Amino acid sequence: MTLLATLHERLIVKSVDRDGTPRTVEFLDNDSLRPTRLQDRTWTHITYLALWFSESGNVSNLYGASTGLTVGLSMWESIICQLGGQILAGILMALNGRAGALYRIHFPVLCRSSWGPLGALWPTFNRAVMAIVWNGVNAVQGAQCLNSPRVLLRSIFPSMANIPNTMGSRSALTSAGMLCFFVFWFVNCAFLFIPIPKMRVLVYIKVAAYYSATVAMLAWTLSLSGSSKHTHRSHSTIHGTEKSWMVAKFFWRGLASVATFVSDAIDLQRYAR
């Protein structure tokens, strides 16, 4: 081992400062991996409360609750399944995020405690891939929202419906849909330039905008149903073992819709005051 260590020292290209002081290996020690600086610890308990409420109120959760109704669950059973999954996810977020709030470290550093400095690259890579996939899902849903009739761009520019479709019959997107995809992606990427310590105002704006829109959507759907009493008192149309499996299925769907936030919790809680 001594011979190999000596050979390694001879072959490695060392990085030094102007005064000749050797630098540490960047991927082992840099500003992003060190504990959060004191001036960056700006988030309060109100910020986190608003953040998790806005994050749990996503399109997947709306899909999950509505899908529960279509398979035979009652409205209250669908809501309870979603809420139960959210509560379990909240417990896991608090447990996984404690290291960030206590030691001001984030996910790659926490992984080193069990995987080692080099082994931690694997779960970090896995989470990066998951983030890319999930961001793609959000971008497609955002593009569909922009391109849907009577929604945002399509309502502002009705002529978008006349854009020739050159994507081909086998493509899941039209030319207008692809345009909306890049618009949504570009706007989404613009927010990456805002440092997380300065995102508090955006969190408050998001939670206010989302729940205002959700309450309006709820009132609209209740008006379409004809009678809110009928909706509230409706019973499930499935029973026995089938119902038990459906309840379990939608409970775990409620958790799965925010599962990414369980691993992200430590990255955000490191900015707590």
pLDDT in tens, 251-262: 998 888 888 888
Please state, for a pLDDT cut of 70, what percent of the chain lies above it.
Answer: 90
- Same structural domain, 44 and 6: no
pLDDT (0 to 100) of residue 2: 75
- Same structural domain, 112 and 154: yes
- Same structural domain, 193 and 230: yes
CA distances from 91 to 86, 95, 98, 203, 262 (A): 9, 6, 11, 21, 9
pLDDT in tens, 105-141: 988 888 888 898 889 989 989 988 988 888 888 888 8
Q: What is the DSSP string of 55-81?
A: HHSSHHHHHHHHHHHHTT--HHHHHHH
pLDDT in tens, 8-65: 676 665 666 666 666 666 667 777 788 998 899 999 989 988 888 887 777 777 777 7
Specify the number of domains making up the chain: 2
- Same structural domain, 6 and 76: no
Q: Which of 138, 247, 125, 245 is nearest to 191 (CA)?
A: 138
- Same structural domain, 224 and 194: yes
Domain range for 13 = 1-34
CA distances from 107 to 24, 75, 114, 172, 272 (A): 21, 37, 12, 35, 15
- Same structural domain, 96 and 191: yes
- The token pair that represents 209 in the structure block: 């905008």
pLDDT in tens, 75-91: 888 888 888 998 998 89
- Same structural domain, 142 and 21: no
pLDDT (0 to 100) of residue 4: 76
Q: Chain-wide mean pLDDT for the chain?
A: 83
- Same structural domain, 158 and 255: yes
- Same structural domain, 188 and 237: yes
- Same structural domain, 4 and 72: no
pLDDT (0 to 100) of residue 211: 84
Three-state SS annotation for 107-174? HHHHHHHHHHHHHCHHHHHHHHHHHHHHHHHHHHHHHHHHHCCCCCHHHHCHHHHHCCCCCCCCCCCC
pTM of the model: 0.75
What is residue 43's three-state secondary structure? strand
Mean pLDDT across 160-176: 82
pLDDT (0 to 100) of residue 217: 83
Top pLDDT among 89 and 168 is at: 89
Torsion region of 163: left, alpha or beta (phi above 0 gives left; psi -120 to 50 gives alpha):
beta
- Same structural domain, 42 and 22: no
**Alpha-carbon dihedral angle through residues 211, 217, 219, 225, given to the nearest 10 degrees:** -150
pLDDT (0 to 100) of residue 1: 54
pLDDT in tens, 205-245: 988 888 888 888 888 877 877 766 666 677 788 888 998 99
- Same structural domain, 15 and 73: no
Q: Which of 33, 179, 11, 31 is nearest to 106 (CA)?
A: 33
Q: Using CA atoms, how far apart are residues 36 and 178, in angstroms rounded to an integer?
A: 39
